[in-house]
Amino acid sequence: MMPEMLSLSNSPLIFIGVMLVKLLVVFAVVIFIVAYATWWERKIIGHMQTRIGPMRTGWHGLLQPIADGMKLFFKEDLIPDQASKVPFLLAPLMILIPALITVAVIPFGPDLHFGNFLIPQQITDLNIGVLYIFAFAGLGVYGIVLAGWASNSK
């Protein structure tokens, strides 16, 4: 029997579960890559300036991104008194979400055979994937503009 492509119509619960797992895995990998790219950049800049760079957390500072994430998680949110509160809080999401959803159309490998189903190794399969990436990659700029406007700073 030939496997069929997993879809919402032939098995909705499995489809939603697989989709959520793929979303979580891809977004966690993207966040991990960004965190360690920042660590790598700090190490290179430290060597260029004849400094050690981040070395205090873990071996050669490998736990520094985790420490930075914990610090960011427990940091207090400061909203200026004159700021428009809702747009000021939505602006970072308008920067982060387009950057994360551009990864949704990138295929990471061949289709997987899972029981009688064929599961693609991408979050969604679009015929216009490159156009989708170009369209959403440019939307992060609007979040930066919204953050400046919402701060109501002169």
Query: Residue 26's domain spans which residues?
Result: 4-150
- What is the percent of the chain where pLDDT is above 70? 94
The predicted pLDDT at position 2 comes to: 61
Rounded to an integer, the average pLDDT of 44-52 is 85
pLDDT tens, position by position, 73-85: 898 878 888 888 8
Q: How confident is the model at residue 113 (pLDDT cuts 50, 70, 90)?
A: confident
How confident is the model at residue 108, as a pLDDT? 86
Is residue 128 predicted with pLDDT exceeding 90?
A: no
Residue ranges of alpha helices (H) inside the chain are 12-48, 64-73, 85-101, 129-137, 140-150
Look up the pTM and report it: 0.73
Number of domains forming the structure of the chain: 1
